[in-house]
Amino acid sequence: MGEDPNTLDYCYVTTKGRRSGRPHTIEIWFAEHGPLVYLLSGDGGRSDWVRNIRAHPTVGLRLGERDMICRARVVEDPAEDALARDLLLSKYGGRYPGDLREWARAGLPVAIELP
């Protein structure tokens, strides 16, 4: 079954370029919650990977040794938005030096639906 996703620091998300059509992979912090993986874009909707998801929501996701094809979306529901921010801040807030509250407050939550 592989490692517990909660012990992993990063996941890898591959998007399809909205203009080039080529794959682009990022390493990013994440929090898994039931059938969803949440991410935060520090650049909000300006991040290329978020723009790519808006154009092509099918993404590749690597969690540890698991590779999956999933569907991603920008979180719009206020309750889900708050949940995503809380999960990510809870996971990473104590692991890294510095205050991550501004990152958790200002970032744009993205949800990836696991297959």
Handedness of CA 96, 83, 113, 48 (dihedral sign): negative
Note the pLDDT of residue 1.
47
Q: How far apart are CA 67 and CA 74, in angstroms?
A: 21
* CATH code assigned to 5-113: 2.30.110.10
Which pair of structure tokens corresponds to residue 13? Answer: 């998300």
Sorting pLDDT into bands at 50, 70 and 90, what band is 107?
A: confident
- CA angle 12-60-11, nearest 5°? 20
Sorting pLDDT into bands at 50, 70 and 90, what band is 98?
A: low
pLDDT digits (tens, 9 = 90+) for 22-70: 999 999 999 999 999 999 998 878 899 999 999 999 999 999 999 999 9
